[in-house]
Amino acid sequence: MKIAVIDYGAGNVQSVKYALNRLGYESYLTDDAKKINSADKVIFPGVGEAASAMKALKAKKLELMIPELKQPVLGICLGMQLMCNFSEEGNTQALGIFDLTVKRINTNLKVPQIGWNQVRDLRSSLFKDISENEFMYLVHSYYVPVNEDTIAKTSYGITYASAIQKDNFYGVQFHPEKSSKAGEILLKNFLEL
């Protein structure tokens, strides 16, 4: 199986590769549209800031290609947020795969949310063999509101979509590559879709 990890300079790509290696899968980092297109599965990771990440995608001419992908695509953290229409972070026009707006966390709790939190209302084969209220690792200051594409929720002063799905596109706000056994199960489920 060919697994492409999109490399556009937005952090955490190595930890994603290591997590896949631990599961026994080889993957390759690439910003080459042909190699991304020909992969069986695509992982779209991201740590950082939305506006500069979109700028990097455009510089590599990936912003038009990613929404056209037909194979399963998993957006992680900022990768998930960039699959939405718009992010309040830097007033960023994003990829528009999901008709959603990413909003700043505005609660009296500490922002960014850093650490372990529960995912619940799990509604996808992505969560096969993962328990309701399982803990996943999160680091974020922005969130996707609960919507019709929500396949998991998390609460942190507000309840938000911690995972979304539309057609072949999946997004998770948490970091499966840093979420211990449950995160490994989720990555394995994605690779077996």
C-alpha triplet 116, 142, 95: angle, nearest 5°: 120
Domain ranges of the chain: 3-191
Average pLDDT estimate for 39-57: 95
Catalytic residues: 77, 175, 177
DSSP string, 106-158: -SSS-SSEEEEEEEBS--SGGGTT--TTEEEEEEESEEEEP-TTEEEEEEESE
pLDDT at 11 over 80: no
pLDDT tens sequence across 76-90: 999 999 999 999 999
Average pLDDT, the chain: 96
pLDDT at 68: 98
Give the side-chain half-sphere CA count within 13 A for 15. Answer: 15
CATH of domain 3-191: 3.40.50.880
pLDDT tens sequence across 29-45: 999 999 999 999 999 99
